[in-house]
Amino acid sequence: MTIAPAAALRPRFVLAGNPSVLWALLVLAIFTLGVSFLSEGMGVGLISTSFVKTLGKTLCLCLAAVAMDVVWGYCGILSLGHMAFFGLGGYAIGQWLMTARTTEIVAQSLAGQPLPPTPRELEQAVATQIFGVVGADEFPWIWAFSDSLGLQLLMVVLVPGLLAGLFGWLAFRSRVTGVYLSILTQGMTLALSLWLFQNDSGLRGNNGLSGLQNIPGLDGWGQATLSVAFLWGSALALALGYVLFAWLTSGRRGSVIRAIRDDEARVRFLGYGVEGTKLLVFTLTAMVTAIAGALYYPQAGIINPGEVAPLASVYLAVWVAIGGRGRLYGAALGAALVSLLSSWFTSGGVPDVPLGFATIRWTDWWTVLLGLGFVAVTLLAPKGLGGLFDLVPRRPSRRQGDWGPDDGAWRREEG
């Protein structure tokens, strides 16, 4: 073998060393431009505004799935609580959206009065408007920053980051791993959703936050234009997140992260602080997931405590498993495919199947189908849908030498 061994560790710019990242970004760009071109808001109007929103939301779910892949597929932490961070990001941005929007409306309705309202009166009127449904007429303390977009955007990453940091610190420090850790993360998201369901949580209990699709200050835009703007925002976030995680999982840091997944005890004997590295990955992925949530809910228009129910996080893991963990594009693919199929089936878009003795209503049977699909992928294609890319014959390239004599494509993606 006459490979120059130095090439084995040749440092390369993340993008150049990893063609799959460039491909993913290219596909994403073409998709976004294509949808914009076909949309009502910007282009020829073949795609309805509500479907543009669905696609924009799907991109946010892809970002969450990519983060989930890093924490689970690369670092080996099967977190079944990452959708809690997604929801918290949504609540954080929702607080500003609701406050600003309601303030606009209340100010308008009070404008006709002979005496202009004092700021205090205005605040109280806004509070009554927002919290009347839970019988309150004052802003709870957790809304302290809700009148500032900047601060509330900070809360989007800060609150989930702190929760993930605290949770991770407690869990990893006590060396809780495997199934026990997964159960703990389920407990965390369950506790969060139960707390949110309470009226005195300060986040409007089971009413959740609504009217989030109206962006204060952008009334002139209309939903059609806004939907395209959010599609672009979501695509940009996904692209940046993708590059960030491609970087995180490359080089020596990526090596150590994967080593922790495969044998964390051994990594300790190399001198690496396993707990610290896991905490870093867990917290970082939580924060990116929260950003995805902050972009998702303005497109959904509403968020309620059901969104952070334990099941949501389980679905996230299922998407990643179906897409193929340990490869970022696999996770994105799985999330896009399954969530789009899911909304198609559950929205009644698929015709019922009459069997004579019974009728298969897909709104009810979709979860069964998903379950069967999950089992099928696990048994037949353990590498997930992303693994199908390994079957594409590759023409030998100069790069091949860098990554080993046998053409195991996944290593190139992972490296």
User: What residue ranges bind other proteins (CB under 8 A)?
Assistant: 1, 3, 5-11, 248, 251-253, 255-256, 258-259, 262-263, 265-266, 268-274, 276-277, 279-280, 401-405, 408, 411, 415
Quick one: 79 or 189, whose CB is closer to other proteins? 79
Q: Which is nearer to other proteins, 77 or 274 (CB)?
A: 274
262/355 with CB nearer other proteins: 262
- What is the closest distance, in whole angstroms, from the C-beta atom of residue 275 to other proteins in the complex? 9
Query: Which residues, including other chains, have CB under 8 Å from residue 390's CB and lie 6 or more apart?
Result: 383, 408, 409, 410
| Minimum gap (Å) between residue 54 Cβ and other proteins | 36
Output the smallest distance, CB 413 to other proteins, in A: 13
Which residue, 279 or 318, has its beta carbon nearer to other proteins?
279
Q: Considering beta carbons, is residue 276 or 382 the nearer one to other proteins?
A: 276
Nearer to other proteins, 38 or 256 (CB): 256
Give Cβ neighbours of residue 383 (< 8 Å, ≥ 6 apart): 324, 330, 390, 410
Contact 320, 335 (CB under 8 A): yes
Provide, rounded to whole angstroms, the least separation between the CB of residue 400 and other proteins.
Answer: 10
**Residue from 283, 238, 293 nearest 88 by CA:** 293
Burial class (CB in 10 A: 0-12, 13-18, 19+), 391: exposed
- Cβ distance 264 to 134 under 8 Å? no
- Give backbone dihedrals phi and psi of 301, rounded to 5 degrees, phi first: 90, -20
Shortest reach from residue 6's CB to other proteins, in Å: 5
Measured CA distances, 412 to 242, 252, 394 (Å): 16, 14, 12
- Least Å from the CB of residue 399 to other proteins: 11
d(CA 86, CA 246): 21
**Comparison of 174 and 363: residue with beta carbon closer to other proteins:** 174
DSSP character string of 34-60: HHHHHBTTTSSS-B-HHHHHHHHHHHH
Please name the helix (run of DSSP H) or strand (run of DSSP E) that holds residue 209, with its range, or none: strand 209-210
Compute the distance between CA of residue 401 and CA of residue 10 in angstroms, rounded to an integer.
Answer: 11
Rounded Cα distance, 279 and 269, in Å: 18
**CB of 5: closest distance to other proteins in angstroms?**
4
Residues forming beta bridges with residue 373, ordered by sequence position: none
Nearest distance in Å: CB 77, other proteins: 14
Q: Output 150 or 271, the one with its CB closest to other proteins.
A: 271
